[in-house]
A = this chain, B = another copy of it.
Amino acid sequence: MEPLVDVFDEGDCILVIAEVPGAEQNSIAVELENHTLKIRAGGKYGEYRGEVGLPAEVQPNGLAWTLNNGIVELRLKRKRA
């Protein structure tokens, strides 16, 4: 399944919200490839694989995410020139 993904430009940060209902904490994998963020997740209801283009260059380190009630939230720091 493809997760529903929203991307918000918050100035210093890019906020990414992905809906992955049923996905479990230890299933989440997030990867950054150039301007594309890839998200994988899964659980007993199925597997999610999604890709989303980011509106700005972000710092490749620090792909910290949280999972709460089936929603993955990431805040990516915008790369400074």
The smallest C-beta distance from A46 to any residue of chain B, in angstroms, reads 11
B17 lies within 8 A of A71 (CB): no
> Taking chain A's interface residues, is the majority helix, strand, or loop, or is none over half, making it mixed?
loop
Chain B residues near A67 (CB-CB < 8 A): 69
Q: Is A50 an interface residue (CB 8 A)?
A: no
A21 to B20, CA, bound (A): 7
- Chain B: minimal CB distance from A25 (Å): 8
Structural contact, A45 and B17, CB atoms closer than 8 A = yes
Given contacts A21-B21, A70-B70, 17 further A-B contacts (CB under 8 A): A19-B19, A19-B21, A19-B22, A20-B69, A20-B70, A21-B69, A21-B70, A21-B71, A22-B68, A22-B70, A23-B69, A24-B69, A43-B69, A67-B69, A69-B69, A69-B70, A70-B71
